[in-house]
Copies of this chain bind each other. A is one copy, B any other.
Amino acid sequence: MIALVVFAHGSKVEAANQAVREMARRVQTRSGYETEAAFLEIAEPDLPGAVEGLVARGATRIIVLPYFLAPGRHAERDLPRIVAELRAIHINVRIDAAANLDGHPALVDILVDRASAVLEEP
């Protein structure tokens, strides 16, 4: 069973954490794969907790989706370290990290859409 984790930093603003959880729900609906939100810090669950839950529910392959806009120490340094630790714990589960959002062409579309929405206001 393949499962996904939307992995974000975690915020003191609870609405921001809820936005990540909502994103995980949408990714699950779109992809058909069970999908959890997880956070580096501040919010719950953390990535080990989310992975443990997915493994308990039968996941044999887990893909971590970094919900970060740019390369930075969290996605580039913290995440690989955590993934290595998780692989050592869950030796029968394949765990991989995907690329972050940076460079995806649809980000340009989103920004242009946001500008258009303002220009279309009366």
Contacts and interface: CB of A to CB of B under 8 A. Distances in A.
Interface of A: 2, 4, 6, 8, 11, 13, 15-16, 19-20, 23, 26-27, 30-31, 33, 63, 65, 67-73, 76, 96, 98-104, 106-115, 117-119, 121
Given A19-B102, A69-B69, A118-B63, A27 B96 contact: no
Contacts of A72: 11, 13, 16
Contact of A70 (B2, B11, B26): B11
B70 A16 contact: yes
Given A30-B108, A103-B19, A115 B13 contact: no
Closest 4 CB pairs of A and B: A16-B70, A98-B114, A106-B106, A19-B70
Copies of this chain, count: 2
Nearest to A11: B72
A68 B72 CA distance: 14
Contacts of A71: 13, 15-16, 19
Contacts of A20: 70
Contacts of A112: 27, 30-31
